[in-house]
A and B are shown apart, each in its own frame.
Chain A
Amino acid sequence: MEVTASDLDNLKATELRLGLPGIDAPEKPAPVSPRGSKRALLVSNEECWPGKNKSPEADSGGQEAQPMAKAQVVGWPPIRSYRKNSFKARKEEMEAAGLFVKVSMDGAPYLRKIDLKVYQDYKELKEALDNMFRCFSTGELSGMQGCNGSEYAITYEDKDGDWMLVGDVPWEMFMSSCKRLRIMRRSEATGMPSSP
């Protein structure tokens, strides 16, 4: 299966983000403080908003009005604070700890380590790996599903100990199950079974 730019864009469409489906979320803040802004949105949803902020589309009935504000309507969706807090606590726990994984490349004399938390999606990860391992390969790393004439495929070991092709599952799921990465030579990769 060929990897195209639109495939990478589709990956972006499946990524988890704060905002309603079908709406283009505003540009994400720079990775410098992605955790800070996520937390701010969660916190402001818990606060009591003054009465002035009625539901944004009460009059227009349309979906154009601030998508981010919609996400912050007080008490919506109607989920008990207890449940929200449980998940929030776990999310914060995950965000606080770095997620360092080893990255090896076939033929390279040494391994690298990266923090998966720093990247928002597969695209950023791939770019980072490109930069890191450029000196060891002649062409670009193709990375995701299938090949594009490139020598290498990016794979990862998951929690069960299986070697998987990077890019199949949503980014968040990948982050939580990835234990290490291996940039594999194409010639070895062709024998790989497809993901279950």
Chain B
Amino acid sequence: MTYFPEEVVEHIFDFLATHRDRNTVSTVCKTWYRVERLSRRSVFVGNCYAVHPERVVARFPGLRSLTVKGKPHFADFNLVPHDWGGFALPWIEAAARGCPGLEELRMKRMVVSDESLELLARSFPNFKVLVLISCEGFSTDGLAAIATYCRVLRELDLQENEVEDRGPQWLSCFPDSCTSLVSLNFACLKGEVNAGSLERLVARCPNLRTLRLSRAVSVDTLSKILARAPHLVDLGTGSFTIDHRAEAYHKVMGNFIKCKSLRSLSGFWDAAPHCLPAVYPICGNLTGLNLSYAPAIQCADLIKLIRQCSKLQRLWILDCIGDKGLAVVANTCKELQELRVFPSDFYGGGIAAVTEEGLVAVSSGCPKLNSLLYFCNQMTNAALITVAKNCPHFTRFRLCILDPKKPDPVTNQPLDEGFGAIVQSCKDLRRLSLSGLLTDRVFLYIGMYAERLEMLSIAFAGDSDKGMVYVLNGCKNLRKLEIRDSPFGDAALLEDVGKYETMRSLWMSSCDVTLGGCKALAAKMPGLNVEVINEMDESDEMEENPCDLDKVEKMYVYRTVAGPRNDAPDFVWTL
């Protein structure tokens, strides 16, 4: 290979699809390192504190697409204090200086300010794609900057962000010359929307294929938009409140019928049951359906709708669908690959919504099922064993029994055997979340069988350090481990410290790890940042006299080449 000119080597590298492969070839020799880095167009940074932004930008000056992730996953559930970190600005600043050709930026769980959005908008003349997922810290003013200055913007995708509303004018900031939009998702915005601006924008973007509207968009506007953009593939409907006796209803139904390319539906924020028939005409084409934000629609109407969706591959729904409704899903949706059932009543005190029966039904009727997120009131070992047999192709399996530590209600046993069956049967399992009553035994199984497991979430589980050690010893491909409220302590933490350098991160909260244990880990492994997060409280003695024997409330450990971070707030100690 050393006799090939570099252009040929570069061309060969073009065929390497994954980041992992490109990272690997860059380590072969100096020439390959140089060729790789200069031709690298896309970089993925899984932990924004693992490397300095300047270093990334210096190594890959030809960067066109950058993806950065910030806060640990448990931040989604309020376990990470609000100002812990994960700031977007340093990344945008570094890229503005070093990669003016940047076209795409994707960020997840980061703090993005209006200032950084404005810098982004002004710094990259070729900027095309902005995707922000579960981010916060910005307002509609920042969006206005993006709309104004990104002349060739193709995608603006805002998923589940907390965005401060400063008025509807941002949408009007897209200049008349902007005709390049392919995907626009502002479903998470809470404020008013300028309907006229929206309609005109849609009208002048002939390539628009994805459009997800916010709750403020009325059915009337939706109707007009559908009339202008019948080639939409992915639609978020906005509020979808219609009086079914009104003309608006028939109009919107008529416009839906024209949308022959529509494959994915979401939204339905305020939809009442009588509105649903408006979408019946296109149900037969749908591959994706998200009704998880439509609590007013109950089982009977959900069933009527789903009966028409025989091509569904992805379904997100609330648990009011019930086991009965899931049986209908099992009979109808033979192509189903991904199912998410969310709780409509968060504290588990309501009507028994879905149980193990619904899951067994779906597993039996939908053999292609490979991704599951299931919130339920109870689960049995027998059911999990059946599911494991029916669906050996799971890559993501997340089960949340709402009552922590709940055993199998039929046998009163822990759910070790059930989850054991899952990991044994599903050889391609990459992500697993456990719940219910679990002993160390389940971790023995996981360590033994879950060879491809990359991410494991544990809550209220296990009996002793052995549990955690089984996992650390067994799961060769483990990248992210997050544990809360489980009896794992220093012995487990320090059993194999080298393991953490093979992983992206470890999170432990409300466990038995002590400050002394964390210090020991930090001392042994300089290549890791060991962060101890202590939220101050008036009655907390720890801040005055932290003792090595004190248990640590929250600990976040991650490998890094950047050293301890310089933007950590007071309550985060990097040991």
Contact = CB atoms under 8 A, between A and B. Distances in A.
**Chains A and B form a bound pair:** yes
Of the four ranges (under 10, 10 to 19, 20 to 34, 35 or more), the interface on chain A belongs to 35 or more
Contacts of B54: none
B40 interface: no
A99 interface: no
Given A77-B343, A80-B160, A86 B293 contact: yes
Contact of B351 (A16, A73, A82): A16
A50 B349 contact: no
Interface in A78-97: 78-87, 90
Contact of A16 (B293, B349, B402, B457): B349
A125 interface: no
B346 interface: yes
A95 B253 CA distance: 32
Contacts of A85: 162
Contacts of A50: 535, 537, 539-540
Q: Report the contact-size class of chain B (Cβ under 8 Å from the partner).
A: 35 or more
B289 to A, nearest CB: 17
B81 A77 contact: no
Contacts, number: 112
A52 B540 CA distance: 9
Interface string A109-143: 00000000000000000000000000000000000
B418 to A, nearest CB: 19
A75 interface: yes
**Chain A's interface: helix, strand, loop or mixed, by majority?**
loop
Given A76-B404, A87-B295, A21 B347 contact: no
B176 interface: no
A82 B553 contact: no
Interface stretch (A29-37, A55-63, A100-108): A55-63
A16 B345 contact: yes
A176 interface: yes
Interface stretch (B70-78, B111-119, B359-367): B70-78
Residue of B343, B349, B433, B540 with most partner-chain A CB within 10 A: B349
A189 B405 CA distance: 49
A48 interface: yes
Nearest to A161: B245
A3 interface: no
Nearest to A56: B404
B160 A78 contact: no
B188 interface: yes
B346 A79 contact: yes
A78 B349 contact: no
Interface of A: 14, 16-21, 25, 46, 48, 50-52, 54-55, 57-58, 61, 70-71, 73-87, 90, 159-160, 170, 173, 176, 196
9 contacts: A48-B81, A51-B535, A74-B78, A77-B343, A78-B76, A82-B160, A83-B160, A173-B298, A176-B296
